[in-house]
Amino acid sequence: MAVLDLVNTAVNPGVEQVSLASVSSMRESFQNWLTDGNTKKYSPEDILSCLEKISGYAVRKKISSTSVWGYTQFSIFQSIYNKLIGAKLLRITDRNTYKVFVVAGQLYLQFLREKPFVHKAAIAAFVEDKEGGSAIVPDRSSEGVIDPEAVITWLVMQPNANGTLYLENVARQYMNALRSAPGKLETPVILDDRCVFSCHTPEELNTYWDIFKAAPNYKQVNTSSSGMFSAGIGCLMRYLQHISEATSRVEKTDETDVIQLVESLKLEYVDKRNSGGALWVIGDRKLTTIMMKLRGTGFHFLFKEGGGRSTDYRDAWWYKPTDSHPAHVAPALSTKPALDPVAVDNLTNVLSAHFANGYRLNSPIELARFRSFAAKDFGEEIVLPDEELKGYISACGTTYDGKVYAVSAETKGRIKELVDEYFSDGAQAIFFAEFYAKNENWLFGASVVSEDMLVGILRRLFPKLSFTQTYFGHMDASVFSALESEILRVWGDDVLLTYEQLAKRLQYIPIDRIKYALGQNGNFIWSKVETFTHVNRIDISNEERKIITEAAMQECNARGYTSITDLPFRNIQERNYELSVTAVHNAVFCICLSDKFDKCGKIVTRKGDTLNALTIMKDRCRTIDKCSLDDLLNYEKELTGEVHRWIPMEAGNAVLVRIDKDTYVADKYVHFDAEAVDAAIELFIDGDYLPLKSFTTFGAFPDCRQTWNLFLLESYCRRFSKKFRFDTPSVNSRNAGAVIRKICSLDYTEIMTDAVANADVPLTDRTVGRFLFDAGYTGRSTTSKVNEIIYKAKAIRERRG
């Protein structure tokens, strides 16, 4: 690209650089985008006219310093858009323009989001024309977003406030904070795009930063990130400033400038094409400074031919200190040293002292840092080639997930000692997760940074033991069997033990595993909250076992089921006084009946037989004189372990008389004169049916020893009436349903359809559902039958004309 092209650039202070020639093209591109069907409410001409009018207003009021068409970044124009939307004067003085701009501005924002223009491509193209430009510049991808990895690569070569280089893991924490924190801020300005990596100049980042700091929860968000957010902004700002400076240097740097720079550093340069071999910079303490100064010059700096981070060798310049080697002479490579104990200790010391969080094996940055630390710690450079040094580093530590950790012999010895001590007491299994959790504080500090890494160390320390996915030790059974075995091993003579008591005895088995074993293994019997016994701790004789088994079989043959409470426990409960009644029942079933019987709640049936809870509930109701609805619900829960309200209510309605909402009584407590009661009902019903709720007075009803109400009337119609029956969509306590003549053959859906057809209501889901509910046909304002009812009611109305 010609240098003159760069002159044709308009600079918007604090915003962005935009080519003047591109203004008309931006307008044309936006117009084409609108014409493609992206505007519906207003025409493309109205949108363009509005934006140009608003553009003039924004410049006059100093809201913007340039035309609308000068904005090509979504985030920057969004800030201008928000300011204009908040301009009260514009809304008052030119209401129509303001109204159109609300839509037009959003369309332009959408256009910028979908069509990002790489408006700074001139600089990138100029660098490319220099052939070999190595200035660190933001990623100019179509999305225009800076790669955080580029920031990290640059940052780890920069001195921090303490004068030392930034650590890579710290730099990554900064970048992670920049990714996550903006989305948590309650910014006063609406920001659809909060990505700070879309900023390409310090001015752009400052605009974001001012908005972020104005958020009322900024301090809280920044504190929750331990200050990483604000620190990360500062680092990104330094990076953008560096880019700005490097870009300006690229425009004026040539070969003469590079030679002058080299001479000022007292270095010699050698043209790759004329050199007799590779010139390699080794051990220069100014290495970092040199690399920093050479950035942005358009030339590469390589550690050696074919090495380093760069892969572009076109016209690359290689430099070496003048006092180390003669010009045009490649330094001799040192021979591979023997890996003696001293060398091992030295490498391990570097790993443990400077790479507590691990050494990333395939990172050129880590390798450069390792060499730097080694030179500083031991006063001499490591002259091994990169690949050989990486191999030695791997051999001096433990590799896990691409990182090498310096796990000392002392650490491994302590791990082995803890394991041997635990197994020496008779333990057969150690669960990896619990061993790591119990020792995590010191293991992590000793560079054993994960459970998986610990497993690898244990496998090497104990090659003769058995290893499964979750535990290792002197057994190779399923987890289920291993848990039962270990729990019984420590149970001792106790009858009852809690979760916590077992967890103390089983130091390296997670308490959640213990809870699972006790809850899922039928040999462990629940007695009370978090307390269990084992079937082996139950005191029961062989004679008692035989008697209980025979009694259960006899009852099941006669009735199909028996209750565990009806079996002859005799003195079993007295002898096992430490256990709850429930625990004794469950233990006896487990010991005596589980092989031939099933148990659901307290009901015992032969294996393979189906438990009919409704039948059992009806049998139960026949033994009751009086009970509440809650009594029936609780009994059903004892039977099945759950509550299905329709089962106890259906049983109560079929056997007992419901005298009010909460009370059922036996038939002997009510006396119905069927002829007199039916005659009273006749006074209310003209046709074939009437909703139960339509019976609003009971003055005509004869005495029946109970007070008449809708619940009592429902019971009467269900079981005692000679002329009427009762029906409802489902049993309920809302008096929903209808009293129907027995001679009427309509089912309940047909009755509801007839009622809707005769009613003056629109045939819609909502109105029909509300009518049926208000009239008392249903207990809810919606019914699954509504579509069927509407369809049939419509047909009835059409037939009637």
E strand or H helix at 658 = strand 657-660
pLDDT confidence of residue 116: 44
Report yes or no on whether pTM surpasses 0.85: no
Chain mean position to CA 651: 46
Distance, CA of 269 to chain centre: 56
- The structure tokens 């509801």 sit at 752
> For residue 791, what are the contacts with CB-CB under 8 A and spacing of at least 6?
none
DSSP 761: -
Task: Output 508 or 3, whichever has higher pLDDT.
Answer: 508
Q: What's the CA gap between 495 and 584, in Å, rounded?
A: 12
Instruction: Name every residue whose Cβ is closer than 8 Å to that of residue 57 and which is 6 or more positions away in sequence.
Output: 63, 84, 90, 94
Going by C-alpha positions, the residue among 545, 539, 542, 534 that lies closest to residue 595 is 545
Every domain of the chain and the residues it spans: 3-119, 124-252, 255-321, 341-405, 409-476, 484-606, 627-739, 748-800
Binned at pLDDT 50, 70 and 90, residue 357 comes out as: confident
Which of the two residues, 411 and 263, has the higher pLDDT score?
A: 411
Confidence class for position 457, pLDDT limits 50, 70, 90: confident
Cα–Cα dist 151/155, whole Å: 6
The encoded tokens of residue 292 equal: 């920093």
The pLDDT, as a whole number, for residue 749 is: 94
Question: Which run of H or E residues covers position 82?
Answer: helix 74-85
**Residues in contact with 126: Cβ distance below 8 Å, sequence separation at least 6, in sequence order:** 1, 3, 6, 250, 251
Amino acid occupying residue 749 = T
Give every CB contact of residue 406 below 8 A, 6+ residues apart in sequence.
348, 349, 351, 352, 355, 396, 397, 398, 447
Mean pLDDT of the chain: 76
Q: What is residue 640's predicted lDDT score, i.e. its pLDDT? A: 65
- Binning pLDDT at 50, 70 and 90, where does residue 601 land? confident
DSSP bridge pairs for 9? 19
- Of 726, 773, 724, 770, residue with least CA distance to 748: 726
Q: Is 196 helix (H, G, I), strand (E, B) or coil?
A: helix
Higher pLDDT, 301 or 29: 29
Residue pair 44/35 in contact (Cβ under 8 Å)? The answer is yes
Say if residue 359's pLDDT is above 90: no
The DSSP bridge partners found for residue 603 are 563, 600
User: Is the pLDDT score of 32 beyond 90?
Assistant: no
The answer on pLDDT for 22 being more than 60 is no
Residue 451's pLDDT is 87
Rounded to 5 degrees, φ, ψ at 721 are -70, 145
Kindly state the average pLDDT of the residues 445-473.
87
Higher-confidence residue of 288 and 80: namely: 80
Which region among 37-41, 148-152, 252-256, 396-400 has the lowest average model confidence (pLDDT)? 252-256
628 pLDDT exceeds 90?
A: yes
CA separation for the pair 465, 416 (Å, rounded): 13
Closest CA to 627 of 670, 662, 672: 662
**Residue 702 confidence (pLDDT):** 94
Lookup: tokens for 405: 């950790």
pLDDT at 26 > cutoff 70: yes
pLDDT at 343 (0 to 100): 64
50-65 pLDDT, tens per residue? 998 888 888 888 888 7
466-495 tens-digit pLDDT: 999 899 999 888 888 889 889 988 888 888
Position 163 pLDDT exceeds 70:
no
What are the backbone dihedrals phi and psi of residue 22, each rounded to the nearest 5 degrees, phi first?
A: -85, -10
Output the CATH code of domain 409-476: 1.10.10
Q: What angle do CA 585, 590, 592 make, to 5 degrees?
A: 90
pLDDT digits (tens, 9 = 90+) for 733-789: 999 999 999 999 999 999 999 999 999 899 999 999 999 999 999 988 877 889 999
pLDDT of 258 > 60? The answer is no
Q: What percent of the chain has pLDDT over 90?
A: 22
653 residue type, one letter? N
Q: At residue 683, does pLDDT exceed 60?
A: yes
pLDDT in the model for residue 354:
84
Q: What are the tokens at 453?
A: 């890494």
Q: How many C-beta atoms surround the C-beta of residue 571 within 10 A?
A: 11
